[in-house]
Amino acid sequence: MNDREKGRHIASITSGSVRCDLKGDIVYISTPRHVDKMEGQEIYSQCLKDAELKGVLTEDQLMSEMVRVGAWTKKEEEEIEGMPKDIEDLKVALFKSDGHDNLQKGIRKTLDNKRQEFYSLVQKRSEVLKNTSSGISDTLESQYILYTSIVDRDGNFLFRGEDFWKEDLKKIDRIYSQYISNFIPEGDMREISRTDPWRSVWNASKSSGSLFGTAASELSKDQKSLINWSRFYDSVGESTEAPNETVIKDDDMLDGWVILQSRNREKDKFRRDIEEKASKHSGAGEVGIPVGSDRMAASVEGLNDPMAQQKLDSIKKAAREAGSNPIKEQDIPFIKKQLQMQAVQQNRKGG
């Protein structure tokens, strides 16, 4: 993105409105008024009731019908649920490959392909769900809110709620399509938030206390997004284990770093919980450890250092021997060893 494109996006975000060209008729869509958002909610609820009374299928009903006729498969459903985790894993692998160009190229290509597969499935399902009772209601609510948020160059609202129902449907569709087409891509928003000229404005606002000159509840969608990404890059830079500039400028690699940091924190917390549980119940006869749970299995498998792996093996062995009964603490080897060491230490103190 060049400086001119960046400046255009920043001007649009700062204005709090989106410019739409309706065949030569320029209008601006501003942040919706609270009363219009409230009315939009009522329109959604009423439309949903009407649609269901008329027999329009719900999301679950339509997806079941899609599966029945073969237009959507259970395999596709499993893929769309599992792909976000696959994409996360690839981003972590990309981060870890920093400095290994050939490996990085291969991972990046796989990541791009996987992401495209995911977007294609999401698009396919979204196109279908637009025709459900909730999809129709959601579109009508969005169109109403956008229409009642149209302003002139001076920020004056041009239409009232009742005007929406009299308006030409084609014009409403054009407004809706124009607004959607003017979305700022996430990649562009991230680049804007971490670079000048916005970065200088953001840093200055920390001392001046003013940014967009409006209350938080009045911020536009893009303004909120830019603030959140700016804070995100602040937190990355302030981290004691902050990545290098090459990683920070690469969205996928930086995502991989963030995911890895989060997973490491979860591993550390899980490890502490296990050790605390063992210590807290050092005098108990048996301790219930939910080794069969998905969460525990994933967490313990993630403790991939040698000591943690020994503990994992100990728990699995004790679980097999205990069957459906609670695991007896003294039957878990690494806890048994801890208890023995504690007994020896106490004997020494007593002697």
DSSP 184-239: PPHHHHHHHHHSTTHHHHHHHHHHH--SSSS-GGG--HHHHHHHHHHHHHHHHHH-
Cis-peptide into 185, omega within 30 deg = no
Of how many residues is the chain composed? 351
All residues at 6 or more sequence positions from 144 whose CB lies less than 8 Å from its CB, including other chains: 36, 39, 40, 43, 161, 164
pLDDT tens per residue, range 82-97: 999 999 999 999 999 9
Alpha-carbon span 164 to 147, nearest angstrom: 7
**pTM (2 decimals)?**
0.78
- Buried/exposed code over 135-145 (b: 16+ C-beta within 10 A; e: otherwise): bbbbbbbbbbb
H runs (alpha helix) in the chain: 3-15, 34-53, 59-69, 74-96, 101-129, 133-147, 161-164, 169-181, 186-194, 198-208, 221-238, 245-249, 251-280, 294-301, 306-322, 333-350
SS3 344: helix
Helix (H, G, I), strand (E, B) or coil at 325: coil
**Can you tell me the mean pLDDT for 161-166?**
94
Which stretch of 112-116, 238-242, 302-306 has the lowest confidence by average pLDDT? 302-306
Q: How confident is the model at residue 251 (pLDDT cuts 50, 70, 90)?
A: very high
Whether 11 has a pLDDT exceeding 80, the answer reads yes
Could you tell me how far CA 176 lies from the centroid of its own chain?
A: 25
Q: How far apart are CA 122 and CA 79, in angstroms?
A: 10
Phi, psi of 100 (to 5 degrees): -115, 85
User: Which run of H or of E encompasses 26?
Assistant: strand 25-29
Looking up tokens 């309706």, which residue turns up?
22
The bridge status of strand 150-151 relative to strand 25-29 is antiparallel
Average pLDDT for 339-346: 69
pLDDT (0 to 100) of residue 305: 53
pLDDT given for residue 213 in this prediction: 87
Residues forming a β-bridge with 150: 29
Q: In a 3-state reduction of DSSP, which class is residue 275?
A: helix
Model pLDDT, residue 24: 79
pLDDT digits (tens, 9 = 90+) for 190-207: 999 999 999 999 999 988
Between residues 255 and 316, the one the model is more confident about: 255
pLDDT of residue 262: 94
Q: Who contacts 152 (Cβ-Cβ below 8 Å, separation ≥6)? A: 27, 28, 158
Q: Which two tokens stand for residue 326?
A: 């609670």
pLDDT in tens, 47-65: 999 999 999 999 999 999 9
**Which range, of 132-136, 232-236, 338-342, averages the lowest pLDDT?**
338-342
Q: What percent of the chain has pLDDT over 90?
A: 65
According to DSSP, residue 17 is labeled -
pLDDT at 296 over 70: no
Average pLDDT of the chain to the nearest whole number:
86
Q: 148: Cβ–Cβ under 8 A, 6 or more apart, which residues?
A: 32, 33, 36, 39, 157, 159, 160, 161, 164
Q: Where are the domains of the chain?
A: 281-350
More confident residue, 341 or 196: 196
Tell me, what's the pLDDT at 308? 55
Contact 155, 16 (CB under 8 A): no
Calculate mean pLDDT across residues 262-282: 79
Would you say 202 and 193 are in contact if contact means Cβ atoms under 8 Å apart?
yes
Residue 223 has pLDDT above 60, yes or no: yes
